[in-house]
Chains A and B, each alone.
Chain A
Amino acid sequence: MRELGPNEILFILAAVRWTLLLSVVAFIGGAIGGALVALARTSEFKWLRLLANGYIKLFQGTPLLMQLFLAFFVPGLFGWSVDPWMAAAIGLSLHASAFLGEIWRGAIEVVPRGQWEAATSLGLRYGPKMALVIVPQAVRIAIPPTIGFLVQLIKGTSLASIIGFVELTRAAQVINNATFRPFTIFALVAVVYYVICRPLSAYSKRMEQKLLVAAR
C-alpha cells in the first residue's frame, strides 16, 4: 500500500484544474443554451414556449447523474464515440441550459409590462427591444440566482467522476484506492470545494440582500 505523501496530495490538488475547467465550459455552454431557452420561454409563439417548458421540465425532473449517463451513451447510438470529458461537458451544459433558462425567464418576466410597451411604442423591433431595454434590467435581478446556480454546477461536476472523468473527486478516489486514507482525503477534497464555492455563495447572498433593500 502507498503512503499518503506530498505527491499524492499534489496529484489531488492538481485535479482541481479539471473541476474548474469543466465548470467554466459547462457554464459557458449553459449560458448560451440558457439564453435561448429563456427567450423561447418568453416568446410570443406558443409552440416555442411549450417546447422550452418541456426542455426545462425534462432536465429539472431527472437526476443529473442520469443526464450524464445518457450524454455518455447516446452518442454511441449514432456511432460517435465520446470520451468522459466530452460527455461530462455536453451533459452539464444541457443541464445548465435548462436551469439558467428558467432563472433568466423569471428575471425577464419581472421587468414591468410598461417597459415592453414603451419599447414597442418607440418602434423598437424584437432584437433591439430585448438588447437595449429588457435584458439590461433583467440582468441585475438575474445575477444572484445565476451565481447561486454556478455553485450547484461546480458541485455537480463531481458527478462526472462517476462516468470516469478524472477531476477532483475522481482523483481523490484514485488516491484513496491506493493509500486507503478516506477520512483525510475526502475531508481535504471537501475543503477544496468549500474554498471554491463559499465565496460565490456569499457573494450571491450579499447581492440578493442588496436587491431586496433596493426593492423596498
Chain B
Amino acid sequence: MSYEFDFADVFAAWPELLQGLLNTLVLSALAMAIGMVVSVAGALGKTSGPKWLRWFIDEYIELIRNTPFLIQIFMIYFGLPSLGIKLSSNEAALIALVVNVGAYGIEIIRAGIESIQKGQVEAGKSLGMRPLQIFRYIVLKPAIQAVYPSLTSQFILLMLNSSVCSAIAASELTAVAGDIQSRTFRSFEVYFVVTCIYLGLSLFFWSAFAGIERTLLRKPTR
C-alpha cells in the first residue's frame, strides 16, 4: 500500500464540518417534528376518517414507500417549479424528508393507536372526559409510548437518509463533505471522517433513546 494519508486538509475544515453536522441535526429534528404531526393526523384519518380519505392516505403511503427517496427529492426540487412552486434546496430537502417520514410514521402511530384497548376509551368516557382529552391522554400518549422504539429508529433512519439531500446541494453534512472534497481532492479522507461523524451520531442516539426508554418510559408494574 503506497497511499499517503493526509487528513490535515480535512481537519482544517472542521468549522465547515461542524456547521454541516449542526445543519444535519436541525434538518432531521425539524423533519421528524413536522413528520410526527403528519403521522398523527394521517393515523387519525386512517383509523377514523371517511372512506375516500383512508384510500388517499393508503395510496400516499404506498407511493412513498415504493419509490426511492432520491426521486422524491428530485420531484420536489426540480419537478415542482414547473408547476410554479419554487423552493430553495433546504426547503425542498425538509419537505421531502417530511413527506418521506410521514409514510412510515403513519403506520407506526396507527399500530400504536390500535394497541389501545376499547375498554380504556370507554373508561375515559364514563369518567366524563371530553373526546379531545380521551384522544390525548388515553389514546395518543400510551400509543406513542407503545411504539417509542420504532419511532426512535425511524428518526435515526431519517437522519442517515438526510445525506441524500446533498444531491440537491442542501447545506447538510454530506454536501459539506462534497465541498471539501472538490477543494482538496482528499476523497477518501473526507468521506472517512464524515462517515465516522454519522456513526458517532447514530451511536449517540441509539444509547440516548435506550436510556430515555429505561428511565422515563418505564411501564408501571401492575
Contact = CB atoms under 8 A, between A and B. Distances in A.
B78 A76 contact: no
A128 to B, nearest CB: 36
Given A62-B160, A169-B70, A187 B75 contact: yes
A190 B70 contact: no
Contact of A74 (B75, B188, B203): B188
* Size class of the contact patch on chain B: 35 or more
Interface string A148-162: 000100011011011
Contact of B202 (A61, A79, A182): A61
Interface in A55-79: 57-58, 60-67, 69-70, 73-74, 76-79
Taking chain A's interface residues, is the majority helix, strand, or loop, or is none over half, making it mixed? helix
Taking chain B's interface residues, is the majority helix, strand, or loop, or is none over half, making it mixed? helix
Contacts of B115: none
A77 B199 contact: no
Contact of B191 (A70, A155, A161, A186): A70
Interface in A144-196: 151, 155-156, 158-159, 161-162, 169, 172-173, 176, 181-183, 186-187, 189-190, 193-194
B3 A77 contact: yes
A186 B79 contact: yes
Contacts of B179: none
* Size class of the contact patch on chain A: 35 or more
B166 interface: yes
B2 interface: yes
Contact of A79 (B2, B65, B81, B164): B2
11 contacts: A57-B203, A70-B195, A73-B191, A78-B1, A172-B74, A176-B78, A186-B74, A190-B63, A190-B75, A198-B66, A201-B62
Interface of A: 57-58, 60-67, 69-70, 73-74, 76-79, 151, 155-156, 158-159, 161-162, 169, 172-173, 176, 181-183, 186-187, 189-190, 193-194, 197-198, 201
Interface of B: 1-3, 62-63, 65-72, 74-75, 78-83, 156, 160-161, 163-164, 166-167, 174, 187-188, 191-192, 194-195, 198-199, 202-203, 206
